[in-house]
Chain A
Amino acid sequence: MVENFEPNIVVFACNWCSYAGMDLAGTSRIQYPHNLKVIRVMCSGRINPVYILEAFANGADGVLVTGCHPGDCHYISGNYKTRKRIILLERLLEQFGIEKERLRLEWVSASEGEKFANIAKEFVEQIRKLGPNHIAKELRKEVAVV
């Protein structure tokens, strides 16, 4: 494990369930790690795989995607699309040489503040064990050669 490594984690949260769940964690004063950079989107289905690839290319050590539970998406099927994208994206990340454990999909409802806090803790620990994502640095080197 790398000493003093504080994982840099990007969280995508859908507006209707997961962001509200995170909010609840906050208003209920449930502690969760400070490593998260939360990006609110209208629906998990709105998360273009480009955002996730860009996050890794720009130095995210982990990406957590959250959305409404199956059946609860406010746009009916956004989260089903997300589920499929994430599975395929995990496979693609592995092919690119990025551990698939750096990407995670979780369903978090508006009432699941505590569940969100637990997922966040667990994910941060998992990424801490994996260590930093070196690819961003290597990519910058490559770009700098130009």
Chain B
Amino acid sequence: MNKPRLAIIPGANCAGCDYSLLDLGEKVIEVLMAVDIAYWPTAADLKLEDLEKLPDGSIDLVLFEGAVNNDETEEMAKLARRKAKNLIAFGACACFGGIPGLANVASKDGILRKAYIKSLSTVNQQGTIPCKLTRLDGIELTIPEFLESVKSLDQVVNVDYYLPGCPPPLKLVAEALTAALSGKLPPKGTVFGSMKSVCDDCKRIREDKKITEIKRYHQLIPDPERCLFEQGIICMGPATRGGCDAVCPTVNVPCRGCMGPTPGSQDQGARMLSALSSVIGLEVETGVSDEEVRKLILQVKDPLGTFYRYSLPKSIMRRVWGVRE
């Protein structure tokens, strides 16, 4: 019998997802022995032509890493879909846009101007900005061009499975690979992860206490037993899908939301906004003025950046609108 074919195709990624594969340790050798690698630029010396030559639908499992941010990654996403029997959005960026998705707070032109002209460390007297096509001595050079907005994989092509996380938790990677290699994949559309929130996996003690002061992480040494949120540190646990065993709060670091929205919720930020409004406040708010409440709640300086750190492109609003910078 032929071995199943596996391809790992990068989009706008940082290769952190590849590391999560290497974290499988010796098991990675087992996986590599069990499959035929069709494409994996981070680890295997195969060229894009090799991938293109394969018949459509002939790769049993394709992991697509990273967001879709320019015309090249968009092509890669389409290629991944064409070649894949099963396509997994692998990691937070492919699932929800992830960190590269935060580019959606700015405009395409604004980003280029900032990076190539306005940043303090840049000297660029002619104000040259990269462009799609350059002609030089009769030679045409092309480079990828940014899309107007960064997208998640499923905003470009149909996706069969989702494996979130930044990077995806080892346990879930093993689960997905085992399922795929043994031909026992769950129904299409499944998200590998738990059906509960990070809080449900978190062992910290919650006392249903209200907080009146939001603290930055460097401002205190948190009590190792008690819920971080109830100690004043914004923790995305209540708005985030579990499945990572709450690794961050377990080591005293607040959850930043990399597993994406909780099951059934469309918008991680809206969910977090509700959670925060329940946690911040006074035990009794009768007779408390609007101004006082405003002061309390607006201690959250950057709700957008905090609540949508990994999921802005997948949010209801998708991006910041009307920005020129």
Contact = CB atoms under 8 A, between A and B. Distances in A.
Specify whether A and B are partners.
yes
Given A80-B281, A84-B293, A92-B304, A49 B274 contact: yes
A57 B303 contact: no
A96 B297 contact: no
Contact of B322 (A57, A87, A89, A97): A97
Contact of B273 (A71, A83, A89): A89
Contact of A70 (B286, B297, B318): B286
Contacts of A139: 317-318
Interface stretch (B53-61, B94-102, B264-272): B264-272
Contact of B277 (A54, A71, A85): A85
Contacts of B297: 84, 87-88
A22 to B, nearest CB: 23
A77 interface: yes
Nearest to A84: B277
Contacts of B149: 142
B300 A88 contact: yes
Q: Is the interface of A mostly helix, strand, loop or mixed?
A: helix
Contact of A92 (B155, B265, B269, B318): B269
The bracket for how many chain B residues form the interface is: 35 or more
A92 B303 contact: yes
Interface size class of A (residues with CB under 8 A): 20 to 34
Interface string A18-54: 0000000000000000000000000000001110011
Contact of B156 (A70, A98, A134, A146): A146
Given A80-B285, A87-B294, A146-B155, A92 B278 contact: no
Most buried by B among A71, A84, A138: A84
Contacts of A4: none
B30 interface: no
Contacts of B49: none
Interface in A73-102: 77, 80-81, 83-85, 87-89, 91-92, 95-98
B320 A95 contact: yes
B276 interface: yes
Interface string B146-160: 001101000110000
Contact of B267 (A50, A87, A134): A50
Interface in A86-128: 87-89, 91-92, 95-98
A138 B319 CA distance: 11
Given A50-B266, A53-B316, A92-B273, A87 B293 contact: yes
B298 interface: yes
Contact of A54 (B285, B290, B294, B316): B316
B290 A57 contact: no
A84 B280 contact: yes
B320 A91 contact: no
B3 to A, nearest CB: 34
Nearest to A47: B274
Nearest to A80: B285
A81 to B, nearest CB: 6
A49 B270 contact: yes
A130 interface: no
B285 A88 contact: no
Contacts of B270: 48-50, 53
A96 B317 contact: yes
23 contacts: A49-B267, A49-B270, A49-B273, A50-B270, A50-B271, A70-B287, A80-B285, A81-B278, A83-B285, A83-B290, A83-B293, A84-B281, A84-B293, A84-B297, A85-B273, A85-B274, A88-B276, A95-B320, A97-B323, A134-B321, A138-B321, A142-B318, A142-B319
Interface of B: 105, 148-149, 151, 155-156, 265-267, 269-271, 273-274, 276-278, 280-281, 285-287, 290, 293-294, 296-298, 300, 302-304, 307, 315-323
Interface of A: 48-50, 53-54, 56-57, 70-71, 77, 80-81, 83-85, 87-89, 91-92, 95-98, 134-135, 138-139, 142, 146
Given A54-B316, A71-B286, 20 more contacts: A48-B274, A49-B274, A50-B265, A50-B267, A50-B270, A53-B315, A80-B281, A80-B286, A81-B277, A83-B290, A84-B297, A87-B293, A87-B294, A89-B273, A92-B269, A96-B320, A97-B320, A97-B322, A134-B322, A142-B319
